[in-house]
Each structure stands twice: as structure tokens, then as C-alpha cells.
Amino acid sequence: MLSTTAVELARLWAPGNLRRSAPGIALCAAIAFVAYYLDTHSLLRFGAVWVPPLILTLVIGMALQPLSTRSALKPGLEFAGRTLLRIGVALLGARLTLGQLVDGGALPVIIAVAAVGCTIVFGAWAARFFGLSRDFGLLTGCATGVCGAAAAMAASAVLPKHENSDRDLAFTVMGVNFLSTVVMVIYPALHEVLAFSLFEMGVFLGGAIHDVAQVAGAGQTMGPQVLSDSVITKLLRVAALLPAIAGIAWWVARSGGPSTGARPTPPVFLFGFLALAALNSLGLVPADVRNAVGQVSSFLIITAIAALGMKTSLLAIARIGMGPVMLLITETVFIGLLVVGLIYGLRTFGL
């Protein structure tokens, strides 16, 4: 059976569709290229401060939001924000090998599984406490628990759509990146307070920080050992993207009812993610190809975020209120405390 993504790609190449979609896709790609070029040439670093390229892309897209109403751009924006996103997420699998993910022993595995599963469930519960929908809690919980912006984009692809879907996703992408940057600075300074070993510190950073880039940044400040352990733990959380998104899709579809609207289609595109991870684990993906695929994946996700930005009003973001802000902060505190508690608790088992 063809996946939804394959069908959309086939439709793109149908006579006339490519011509109609090209302007919107080209504009999103141009925005992404600007941010990608600036980042790869270290032009988004200002001393110790780093502006993630996806944040710059989102801001540029939002600034160009009035253009999104033009009929010439709409087909391309929809294609970039949906299909290119799914391809980009699928290609993330090329970064993973099963061998890497078990090198650190049981502790990183337990921490990663608990961090992902518990944070998603906690997000769904806490959202109700702040007067928000369960689906918004699943969106932010997945972004916090798995791998930041990429997980948010993937979760959005399987959650029911509503009039504020783009706004909620844009807020989540911006909020998770901001909080990830904040804890990137704070957590390494807690080394002595927590009394963790270097290995435990690496597991803590990889288990509690949202985005891969910020995990690497925090680990790098503490030396190569912590960097390696933190990245391995983080990759375990990234590897949980497939079951996490499949679980969210199942949860939403199972609940049914008017609150969820139309049931989402199965996240078939994530099987591409799993297939690439399996091929890479078997050593069938050369290093050069793996690096190239990783760069393409990053560029496609940034392109999708450009489309998201163009469909999102800054005014709508400003009106979102304090509830979503407090939810993201609460989820960030939750995953941090969860990882710390698990590391202390699992010491008794010699892990």
C-alpha cells in the first residue's frame, strides 16, 4: 500500500500540480537556505549566544505571513508544510545505529524510555490543569520528551487539525527551542550540586534537554566524555520518535468523539525513519551518504518550518495566553526532575 506521502509526491508531479506548487515551495526553500547558510557559516553565533536556524526561519516566515493569502503560493506552502516535513522526519533515521544506542548500558535506555513516555502522558494530563486541550498537551509533551521541533512537527502531522493548529505548532517550536537553550546553560552548572559522576551527568543532559543541538552544546562544555554520553542518551530519545508518534495517533484515534474531529491517518512516513535506521545499523549507509542525508533532513524540516511560519500570525501567537507558556515550563521542569530522580533511584541497582 502506498503511503500518504508517496501519494502526495505522485500528485505533485501530475501535469499542472508542479507548476502550481513551485512558487510556494521555492519561497520556503529560499527562506530555509538563508537560515541554513548563515548557520553553517557561524553567522548565527554571537559570542556564547546561538540562534537556531529554525527559529530564524520561523521568524522570517511569520514576517512574510501576509503573502500566504496569495493563491499562487498556497499549494506550495501546504506541500512544504506537510509532505516535505514527513520526508525530513523519515530521513532522520539515517543518523541512528542500534549499536550506538546500547553502548552506554541500561541506564541511558531506561532514562530515555521513561523521559519520552512519562513526559507525553504528563503533558496530556497537565494540559487539562491549565485549561488546554489534551491534544495540545500531546503536542508539547512530545516536543519536550522526544526531540524538540522535529518531534513537534511529526506529532502535528498525526493530530487532528483545527483552526489554531498552525499557531499551536509555531508556539511549541519557538517555546521548546527557547527553553532548551535556557537549560543548556543552566544544567552543566548543576554538576556539583547534583553530585553526579561524569557518566551520570551525560545521561542527565541527554535525558532532560529537548533539542539535539542544545544537548551537544551542553555536553561540549563539560568535555568529550560527557558529550558522548549525552548525545547517545539523546539519540535514544530520538529513536523513540516512531513509537511515540504511533502511540499518539493510536490514542487520538481510539478516543474518537467530537473533541478529536477527524481521525488522523497512520504515521506511515515514520516507517521510512525506521527503515533508514535499520539500514544504517547494518552498515549499509556509507558515512558520506549518512552525512548528506542528515543535511537534507535538516534542510527539509527547516523548509517545512518556513511554511509553518508563513501560515502563522504573530498576533495570534501573542494572544495565545499564559496557559501554554506555563505548560511548556512545567513539562521542562517535570522531565528534568524525572531524570534526576531516576538517576538517583537506579544507583541502588548498580546502573
Per-residue pLDDT reduced to its tens digit, 165-203: 888 998 998 888 788 878 887 999 899 999 999 999 999
In this prediction, residues 312-318 reach a mean pLDDT of 70
Distance, CA of 161 to CA of 202 (rounded, Å): 38
Rounded percentage of the chain residues whose pLDDT exceeds 70: 84
Please, where are the H alpha helices in the chain?
4-12, 17-40, 53-63, 74-79, 85-91, 98-102, 106-129, 134-142, 149-158, 165-186, 191-194, 198-208, 212-220, 224-239, 241-255, 270-281, 287-310, 314-318, 322-346
Instruction: Specify the pLDDT at position 74.
Output: 87
pTM, two decimals, is 0.71
Predicted confidence band of residue 325 (pLDDT cuts 50, 70, 90): very high
Please choose, from the candidates 264, 339, 284, the residue with its C-alpha nearest in 3D space to the C-alpha of residue 113: 339
Tell me, what's the pLDDT at 131?
A: 92
Residues 193 and 203: their CA atoms lie apart, in Å, by 16
| Of residues 16 and 243, more confidently modeled | 243
pLDDT band at 266; cut points 50, 70, 90? very low
339 with 207: CB under 8 angstroms? Answer: yes
**Please, what's the b/e burial string for 196-208 (b: 16 or more CB within 10 A of its CB; e: otherwise)?**
beebbbbbbbbbb
- For the CA atoms of the chain, what is the radius of gyration? 20
pLDDT of residue 34: 92
- Ramachandran region, residue 33 (left: φ > 0; alpha: ψ -120 to 50; beta: rest): alpha
pLDDT-above-90 percentage for the chain: 28
Place of cell 554538576: 191
HSE-CB at 265 with a 13 A cutoff on CA atoms is 11
Cα dihedral: 136, 141, 144, 145 (round 10): -160
* Distance separating alpha carbons of residues 46 and 56, to the nearest angstrom: 14
Query: How far, CA to CA in Å, does 243 sit from each of 110, 173, 236?
Result: 15, 21, 12
Give Cα 326 to chain centroid, integer Å. 19
Burial class of residue 12 in the structure, from the number of CB atoms within 10 Å of its CB (0-12 exposed, 13-18 middle, 19+ buried): middle
- What length does the chain have? 351
Mean pLDDT across the chain = 82
How distant, in Å, are the alpha carbons of 46, 61, 190, 243, 329 from that of 172? 24, 15, 26, 20, 11
Examine the pLDDT at 2 and tell me if it is beyond 50. no
Residues 9-20 have a mean pLDDT of 63
Residue 170: phi and psi, rounded to 5, are -60, -45
188 vs 48: CA distance, rounded Å = 14
What whole-number distance in Å separates Cα of residue 250 and Cα of residue 237? 20
- Contacts of 180-186 with CB under 8 Å at 24 or more apart are 180/148, 180/209, 180/210, 180/211, 180/214, 181/50, 181/52, 181/214, 183/208, 183/209, 183/210, 183/214, 183/218, 183/332, 183/336, 184/209, 184/214, 184/215, 184/217, 184/218, 185/218
Cell of 271: 516507517
At 103, is the pLDDT very low, low, confident or very high (cuts 50, 70, 90)? Answer: low
